[in-house]
Structures are given as C-alpha cells and as structure tokens.
Amino acid sequence: MAGNSFGQIFRLTTWGESHGPAVGCTVDGCPSGLPLEPETIQRELDRRRVGQSKVSSQRQEPDQVQILSGVFEGRTTGSPITMLVFNTDAKSGHYENIKDLYRPGHADYSWDAKYGFRDWRGGGRSSARETIGRVAGGAIARLLLAREGISIIAYTLQMGDLCAEVFDEDEIERNIMRCPDARVAALMVERVDQARRSLDSLGGIVEVRARGVPPGLGEPVFDKLQAEIGKAMFSIPAIKGVEIGEGFGVAGLRGSEHNDPFVRREDGRIGTVSNRHGGILGGISTGEEIVVRLAAKPPASIAQAQQTVDREGNAATIEVRGRHDPTVLPRLVPVAEAMLALVLADHLLRQRTARV
C-alpha cells in the first residue's frame, strides 16, 4: 500500500488500524535539539481522543503516547521519531454481523475494489483512528513553527445553518463544540443531540488559521502552498471540500473587488489592506494570515436502516451499530491544525534550501 507518508523534508509516516493492536507514526527530518516532552504530544492527542464529550463517540481510549525513538534527555536527536498509541477499547464484535455488507458512505466497497481484501473491523486503515499519527506528528511540527513565531488555531465555524457570528478565541476550548461563539455553540450541541436521538449525524465547516507565517514559503509550480494544504486537508477522513481565502466566493467577484491592495506597514514590512487571498499568492505565502476552511460530511456510521448490497451484489438492509461520532467537527479541529502545521513545517525547512 502506497501513500502512507506526507512531506519532503519534514516527513510523516502513519501506520496501524482502528482495531489492530496499536496505531502510531514516524516523523523523519526533524532537526536535532528541539525540546520535546511526551506531555506536549499528549496534550494534542487528548484534544482529538474519543469519549471526551456527548458530541463524540463513546469509545473509551486513553490514547497514551509512547515515544520509542528520536528523543534523548528531552530533546530531538535528528533521527526518526517513532510514536505509538495502543488500542485498548476496540470492540470488533460490533462489526461481525455486517462484515460482508458495504456500509453506505464508507470505504468498504472502494477498498474491496482496489485490494480484493479488507480489514472489516471498524474500517481498518481507512478509519479516522489513523489521524492519531497525524496529530502526534503535527504536535512536533507546531513546536518547530513556534520557534519562528508561527501559531495555528482552528475552530468549528458552521454546522448546517448555524454559523459563528462572534469570534472569541478564548471560548473555543471552553465548549465541547470548539466554536468561538458561545451562543451558537450551545445551539450546535442541541442540534447534535437531536441528530443522535434520530439515529443520524451532522456535517459542517472547520476553519483553521496560521499566524506569523513569513512571506516566501511554498513552491511556485506543482508544490504550490495551497496545493500542499489542499492535499493535506483532503487526506483527512470525511473532508469533501477545502477553501483558502475567499474560496468559491471568488467566482462572484470582479478583479477590482477581489484584489488586496499592498501597503507598507508601520514596522516597515509589506502587507495587504485586506486578505481575500488567504495568505497565499502564486503558491507562495505573503505574510498575511493563512485561512483555510474544511467542509466535513456527516459521519457515515448511523444506526438507521439503510439499503445496501453484500460482497456478491445481493440486496440487503444494514444498521450500523456501535459507538460512533454524531459529528466529527470538535475532533476535526486538532487534526486540521496538525495537518496545516505539517505542511508549514516542511516548507519552512524547504525554504532554507532555496537561497545561498
């Protein structure tokens, strides 16, 4: 199986299956001497883990990280950093009676079409549990970025017709929806409760922003910064749309409306009056905030009876039981932050090779 690694210089490889013994990752290309403690990784994994609130799956996993290599006396050594998280609460029996049925909205059929064989326990490698490795690797990338004054923040922006109208950054981690608008967050929680009681699920939009990104990151042709970000975000399970800056809104604008005028700021740096370009022009960062929005589909695992077929093509009815997220949005927030951090860390290191 190809495609388990991401990045060129700062390179992440993830491994493991949802109901296997463990999941984890290896980070290669991290410079030596970076202070790194397990608590830094654990803090981000705790934000991603299941069972943390009533709007997430009730699977109980501590997601306790173990750093197996690449760190000595609290600092990175420059060698590959391998991290492991054991699966402790997988209940494969929940899938026994549907192992030969294709779950609507899942990768069951497409996986069989490609490989002719699949791990039916919770989706195996196609499960979102694989994102543990992304978040662990992203935590290291964030440390590297922080040394350059770069920070990343994500939040739940929208669920259906409910959209944050107030941006209170301190509010994001105070509510279980990770929404910056307390009033709208409460309405989102009610909406999720209604969906759960109806044996249904909900999608929405997460926005992620990178601040302090210097101008000049990215490559101008196939590795444009927005192309790398797009690949990173589209690789996250459940993501069906990615926008940068104005995104699809540019289709309704004129050039005179969309262009961001350049100015010299008081500190002498060049910037733009507005940021409709989302911090990237010509595939290269401009120094403005990088603004990305991700559209996440409703989780496909719902307990309603649905029409499907078995592996032989025979018509069947399926009800997906077990413990599943009624919405991915709150747990998507740390994953989106991690993926943006991985892209920026890789391009930060690549930029150091661009000039004499």
Which residue type sits at 198? Answer: S
Task: Find the mean pLDDT for residues 87-105.
Answer: 87
Q: How far is CA 337 from CA 32, 141, 239, in A?
A: 23, 10, 14
Q: Is 235 helix (H, G, I), strand (E, B) or coil?
A: coil
pLDDT surpassing 80 at residue 90? no
Cα separation, 279 vs 208, whole angstroms? 12
Q: 11 forms bridges with which residues in the sheet?
A: 28
Q: In what order do the strands lie in the sheet with 22-28?
A: 5-6, 11-16, 22-28, 81-86, 65-67
pLDDT of residue 351: 97
Residues 6+ apart with CB under 8 A from 67: 36, 38, 41, 81, 82, 83
Q: Which of 291, 179, 296, 294 is nearest to 246 (CA)?
A: 291
Q: 65 forms bridges with which residues in the sheet?
A: 85
Q: Which of 45-54, 133-142, 203-212 has the lowest mean pLDDT?
A: 45-54
Q: Which of 87-91, 93-97, 271-275, 303-307 holds the top average pLDDT?
A: 271-275
pLDDT of residue 321: 79
CB 86 within 8 A of CB 101: no
Q: Which of 14-23, 208-217, 275-284 has the lowest mean pLDDT?
A: 14-23
pLDDT of residue 154: 98
What is the band of 95 on the pLDDT scale with cuts at 50, 70, 90? confident
pLDDT of residue 69: 98
Rg of the chain, C-alpha, whole Å: 21
Please report which residue ranges of 235-289 form alpha helices under DSSP H.
Answer: 255-258
Cα separation, 298 vs 322, whole angstroms? 16
How many C-beta atoms lie closer than 10 Å to residue 188's C-beta?
Answer: 29
Cα separation, 308 vs 315, whole angstroms? 6
Residues 6+ apart with CB under 8 A from 326: 55, 192, 195, 196, 200, 201, 202, 299
pLDDT surpassing 70 at residue 59? no
Burial class for 96, CB neighbours closer than 10 Å (0-12, 13-18, 19+): exposed
150: left (phi over 0), alpha (psi -120 to 50) or beta: beta
pLDDT of residue 324: 81
pLDDT of residue 138: 98
Looking at beta carbons, which pairs linking 271-279 to residues 24 or more positions away fall under 8 Å?
275/245, 276/245, 276/246, 276/250, 277/245, 277/246, 278/226, 278/244, 278/245, 278/246, 278/247, 279/210, 279/213, 279/244, 279/245
Share the mean pLDDT of the chain: 95
pLDDT surpassing 80 at residue 52? no
Task: Find the mean pLDDT for residues 311-333.
Answer: 91
Task: Find the mean pLDDT for residues 293-309.
Answer: 95
